[in-house]
Structure 1
């Protein structure tokens, strides 16, 4: 199924002739219609920066629970530490509706932008303060901020790329993302040896689509690793290239393109008895838009003609997390 996941070299795109860009755009458009993901090379994110964030993340997750508890997330819009079994519906909603479903087998540390609007309620739901564990691990903040500076740069290029592939003005998405909401996750998937046992149907991350516009993922390959879905192939493991990032579309982009492009359905398998000591660390950058952006589905022939209704960006994300607020979203 490698053909279902195109490979785009961002440097080559920027240097390509109009004819070369047309070939790249056609291939990318096909992949986003069929699956909703692609591999990104030529992005300029140093491997040392990725390795540095993984190392600091591993140090954080290895801390005793009591040392991590002061940073625990209690509401789905907060930054901080997401415990492996938090309960209470915190986090991205899974597809399974069974409330007795076993919880996902991962821990995460969430951070977001430092932007502030000046409105207390807007900031609470859109730009919650980061809670850095500086007293116990001062290097984590620097590693996250170094990495997310690259992610914001790549996100800008992706927004321009998506607009050009759709035949829109290059700044169509970027001018709606001047104060975008985003979340950076460092997610640790522990080994089978450390969790002891896996319940029936339990995974490291259950099937879901992401809620924002798109996600940029730095992954590690594993037996109990990432799987993606499309109608022709069902579940399959995407190709792995050590220096490539995975870019997948979320619900907001599917909404915006009126289902011309699809939000990627994906999951992370449970740790496997065939690799009992395998643990993985993913760096996951969830990008949205300015929080008050009205996502108006694009009309055909650019849009897919599904007839979806407009939604407000951040309000749509929060409502899918079960949060309802009258916050005034700003640009």
Structure 2
């Protein structure tokens, strides 16, 4: 199965030979058609930046609840702390039509976004909400997040250029629609079985879902209760792990944009396992969209697929899937 999830060297891509680029493009296109994910090396993100953000994230999650509560998220589009409820887990959107699980997911997260401000209060509220940093108790979290996300924005530009070339589009097709893209950096802590005490029937660290944006760049840790991906041929499987590679997952917007040629990755994170009762994992998850007012029009064949999707406005599509109906004054609609 691992051979179906290719590794792309982003640093080598610009100077690769025509033959090498064609081989990479063919393997990548197949993986994105069948599963919706690949590994990314040559990304230039320092290991120190990943390590420091993980360290700061762990310090934040270890704080007592009363220290974290001022940063609790009150709406799905806000930045801040997403709590794991005392009974275990947080409520997150699941796949359309899926029956809700009585016991919610076993993780808690801290979310941050761009510091960009448009000057329009309605747009900024829904697209660029102000970050809320625990500077008084943990000033390093802000520094580590901002350092890491600067790399993520750079890598996202490279991924967008790569996607355009694989599809045979102008290199700036996606990047020129992402000058002030909406994005979210999520630091997610998956606690150990020893910490949560017990796991209910059907309960997972993160239930089956697809991401809502264009693509996600993930720095993951391997674990017994770790990431699984899904495709028709293999069902659920553990994707390959490379400590030097990032994982790129396609989201709903890119599936729509390619008119079904490429698919959003269906994935989940398994529950903590009795075979590794002290295993805890911490993921760095960068959800990338596009400029909020981008009209995403499905690409026609042969570049796109034949799914006959309808156009959507980028940010409005994401917010509506979160159950949010933005103010009529928000001009990105």
TM-score (norm 2): 0.96
Distance, in Å, in 2 between the alignment partners of 1:24 and 1:99 is 39
Per the alignment, residue 279 of structure 1 pairs with 280
For the 8 Å contact 1:204–1:269, the answer to whether it is kept is yes
Per the alignment, residue 69 of structure 2 pairs with 69
Measured against aligned partners, the alpha-carbon deviations of 1:258-299 in whole angstroms (never above 9, x if no partner) come to 000000000000000000000000000000000010010000
1:213-228 correspondence to structure 2 within 5 Å: 213-228=214-229
Distance, in Å, in 2 between the alignment partners of 1:279 and 1:164 is 38
Per the alignment, residue 315 of structure 2 pairs with 314
Distance, in Å, in 1 between the alignment partners of 2:38 and 2:86 is 32
Q: CA deviation at 1:330?
A: 4.8
Q: CA deviation at 1:43?
A: 0.5
Runs of 4+ off more than 3 Å: 89-92, 96-100
Pairing 1:32–2:35 present: no
Distance, in Å, in 2 between the alignment partners of 1:86 and 1:300 is 50
Distance, in Å, in 2 between the alignment partners of 1:208 and 1:103 is 14
Distance, in Å, in 2 between the alignment partners of 1:329 and 1:41 is 38
Which sections of structure 2, spanning at least 5 residues, go unmatched? none
Distance, in Å, in 1 between the alignment partners of 2:244 and 2:214 is 23
Per the alignment, residue 4 of structure 1 pairs with 4
Per the alignment, residue 297 of structure 1 pairs with 298
Per the alignment, residue 105 of structure 1 pairs with 106
Out of 303, 324, 328, the position equivalent to 2:330 is 328
- Does the C-alpha gap of structure 1 residues 304 and 92 become closer, same or farther in structure 2, counting only changes over 3 Å? farther
1:207-246 correspondence to structure 2 within 5 Å: 207-246=208-247
1:49-198 correspondence to structure 2 within 5 Å: 49-85=49-85, 92-95=92-95, 97-99=98-100, 101-198=102-199
Q: Secondary structure at the match of 1:11?
A: coil
Distance, in Å, in 2 between the alignment partners of 1:61 and 1:90 is 14
For the 8 Å contact 2:94–2:100, the answer to whether it is kept is no
For the 8 Å contact 1:92–1:321, the answer to whether it is kept is no
Pairing 1:13–2:9 present: no
Distance, in Å, in 1 between the alignment partners of 2:332 and 2:76 is 20
For the 8 Å contact 2:90–2:108, the answer to whether it is kept is no
Distance, in Å, in 2 between the alignment partners of 1:246 and 1:19 is 24
For the 8 Å contact 2:83–2:90, the answer to whether it is kept is no
- Does the C-alpha gap of structure 1 residues 265 and 132 become closer, same or farther in structure 2, counting only changes over 3 Å? same
Which sections of structure 1, spanning at least 5 residues, go unmatched? none
For the 8 Å contact 2:258–2:299, the answer to whether it is kept is yes
Distance, in Å, in 1 between the alignment partners of 2:102 and 2:169 is 43
TM-score (norm 1): 0.97
Measured against aligned partners, the alpha-carbon deviations of 1:134-179 in whole angstroms (never above 9, x if no partner) come to 0010000000000000000000000000000000000000000001
- Does the C-alpha gap of structure 1 residues 316 and 139 become closer, same or farther in structure 2, counting only changes over 3 Å? same
Distance, in Å, in 2 between the alignment partners of 1:305 and 1:293 is 21
Q: CA deviation at 1:19?
A: 2.2
Distance, in Å, in 2 between the alignment partners of 1:106 and 1:28 is 31
